[in-house]
């Protein structure tokens, strides 16, 4: 582009205004920015990107930590919270851990299976426990720790006598639970079962 006393030549990073053809003549340099650049010094831009990246990684790590390390975040949680200190495959509720079996056994075999885990067949202490267990049992029948022995009373698998705080059909010797009721059946029948033990 021509001007009165000289011409303008364009370089990749600057515009150089030349006057005449004399190399000793004074010259003026204009700094231009490439199209799309923000004009922010590179060290500032790099530091901003690094800071934002570290902030995002920290936030992600904190949110993931709540799910991978639940024990650190439970101290203030209510006892009926679904997060618990129970081991894998066990469900925590109201200070107890419950295991819902995937296979079926007779009442005595189910009782022995629970003993191997340091537990008993489920002992139901409250209406809340009952509602919780019925919900998790679904349509399947599950042995619970209530049994009638000849010439005795109904007892829980932990040795406590049943206080009759809920009603159920006592036509057979071993109690089971499903999503709608507690009832009894022949102890040799093969059903799923529920183990229970105190939370650690």
Task: Dig out the tokens for 178 from the structure.
Answer: 């499903």
- Is the CB of residue 113 less than 8 Å from the CB of residue 99? no
Indicate the domain borders of the chain: 97-198
Measured CA angle at 178 (ends 172, 180), to 5 deg: 105
pLDDT digits (tens, 9 = 90+) for 154-178: 888 888 888 878 878 787 889 999 9
pTM, to two decimals:
0.57
- 124-160 pLDDT tens trace: 888 999 999 999 888 899 999 999 987 788 888 888 8
**Choices 3.20.20.10, 3.10.100.10, 3.40.190.10, 2.30.30.30: CATH for 97-198:** 3.10.100.10
* CA separation for the pair 196, 175 (Å, rounded): 15
3-state helix, strand, coil in the chain (%, to 5): 25, 30, 45
pLDDT given at position 9: 43
């Amino acid at each position: 582009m021509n001007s009165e006393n000289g011409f303008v030549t364009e370089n990749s990073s600057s515009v150089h205004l030349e006057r005449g053809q004399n190399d000793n003549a004074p010259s003026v340099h204009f700094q231009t920015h490439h199209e799309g650049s923000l004009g922010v010094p590179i060290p500032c831009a790099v530091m901003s990107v690094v800071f934002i990246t570290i902030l995002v990684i920290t936030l992600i790590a904190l949110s993931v930590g709540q799910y991978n390390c639940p024990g650190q975040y439970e101290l203030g949680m209510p006892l009926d919270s679904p997060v618990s200190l129970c081991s894998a495959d066990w469900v925590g509720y109201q200070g107890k851990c419950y295991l819902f079996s995937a296979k079926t056994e007779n009442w005595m075999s189910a009782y022995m299976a629970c003993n191997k885990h340091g537990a008993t067949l489920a002992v139901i202490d409250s209406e809340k426990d009952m509602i919780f267990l019925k919900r998790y049992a679904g349509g399947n029948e599950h042995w619970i720790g209530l049994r009638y022995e000849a010439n005795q009373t109904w007892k829980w698998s932990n040795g406590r006598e049943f206080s009759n705080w809920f009603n159920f059909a006592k036509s057979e010797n071993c109690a089971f639970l499903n999503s709608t009721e507690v009832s009894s059946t022949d102890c040799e029948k093969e059903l799923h079962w529920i183990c229970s033990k105190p939370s650690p």
